[in-house]
Amino acid sequence: MSESGWLDELAWGEAGLLPAIAQDADSGEVLMVAWMNRDALAATVASGEAVYWSRSRGRFWHKGEESGHTQTVREVRIDCDADVILLKVVQHGGVACHTGRRSCFFRRLQGGAWEEVARVLRDPKEIYGE
């Protein structure tokens, strides 16, 4: 098997992408979900920092390239069907979400409506200069 044969073992979707879950390596908290193609996963493994494929921008996205909130990858796992990637990460800067929150999963269904249950830690305008 070639050096990157492990990439061939994944069930890449029609678009060549797989969902990638970023989970805090210590607490287990799910921080975010993004997409990876072969090259993004290979770059992540090679660099030790999370690199994703941005569908909206149509390009690679090194997590934290604008915000400084990088993710150091401690472990890479796949699920039983080899079609979901799990990254166990150390989230630098305490913020994983572009909304300025720790996690992208800050809303929960309560009484038939979505309720925000996590506060903004940093104003996105501060982070991205918008």
Q: Is residue 107 part of a domain?
A: no
Q: State what percent of residues in the chain have pLDDT above 90.
A: 82
CA distance 124 to 72: 22
The one-letter amino acid code at 23 reads Q
Per-residue pLDDT tens over the stretch 101-119: 999 999 999 999 999 999 9
State the residue range of the domain holding 15.
5-94
Tally the domains of the chain.
1
- By CB neighbour count within 10 A (0-12 exposed, 13-18 middle, 19+ buried), where does 36 fall? buried
Name the average pLDDT for the chain.
Answer: 93
Q: What is the CATH number of the domain that holds 34?
A: 3.10.20.810
- pLDDT of the residue at 1: 43
Q: Is residue 56 part of a domain?
A: yes
Per-residue pLDDT tens over the stretch 25-38: 999 999 999 999 99
Asked if 32 and 96 count as a contact pair (C-beta separation under 8 A), the reply is: yes
- Torsion, CA 46, CA 48, CA 50, CA 51, rounded to 10: -20
| pTM listed for this prediction | 0.90
